[in-house]
Amino acid sequence: MRKNIVAGNWKMNLNAEQTRALISELASVQLPENTRVLVAPPFVNLSAALEAAAHSSVEVMAQNMHQAESGAYTGEVSASMLTHLGVKTVVLGHSERRSYFGETDALLAQKVQTALNHHMEVVFCFGEELAERENNTHFEVVASQLKNALFALPASTWSSIVLAYEPVWAIGTGLTASSAQAQEMHAFIRQTIAEAYSASLAQEVSILYGGSVKANNAAELFGQPDVDGGLIGGASLVAADFKGIIDGLR
């Protein structure tokens, strides 16, 4: 059975002390059945986050990782470094990694495989830009991103894949995706997986929505049949706001 998930991507924010404080506030949240809450602090705060979350239901994940096992890659972090700390989940393919750092589908396919080789769970991000939405190629773009990075994987590995659809055009632009638009794309994603693998596998995959989710729209978005939660940016940095979004899963 697929899980309902709210995942907070903290990006390049908060220090170790702030990380501990925020997780301590989240630790008191009573989660509905079949629900997970994850947070992704910067690399330098992973140890502090893991310590703070140790006796709670909050899970800690990494924001990125390198595809190589080790080597001369200054400033990078490997899968084995993460798993040695106790990090079991990694975000890959975030829109900011794609746009700011030039990460391609081919590179992300390598990263995904490396993560799976280390028995890590992957939160895989993808989604269309504004121009692609406006010229009606958004379905084609999303299908291509999925196919190029994930569809060479055997079906057995999909139990370790969580998808996070990011309508990049609706993030920080003032434009808003409706719950109907979110559901339309999530349904398309699930159907695309069903066609590549099977309907039963597609029904087991959690698909998160990553388009400026707030406490005041979370319940409506999460109430859509193919939306299994959200990947949250700025709103995950404030405990009250993040708790409000988590409440949208109830």
DSSP per position, the chain? -PPEEEEEE--S---HHHHHHHHHHHTT--PPTTEEEEEE--GGGHHHHHHHHTTSSEEE-BS---SSSSSS-TT---HHHHHHHT--EEEES-HHHHHHH---HHHHHHHHHHHHHTT-EEEEEE---HHHHHTT-HHHHHHHHHHHHHTTS-GGGGGGEEEEE--GGGSSSS----HHHHHHHHHHHHHHHHHHS-HHHHHHS-EEE-S---TTTHHHHHTSTT--EEEESGGGGSHHHHHHHHHTT-
Catalytic residue, candidates 59, 94, 103, 138: 94
Catalytic residue, candidates 96, 103, 128, 166: 166
Residue 94 annotated among the catalytic residues of the structure = yes
Residue 96 annotated among the catalytic residues of the structure = no
Catalytic machinery residues: 94, 166
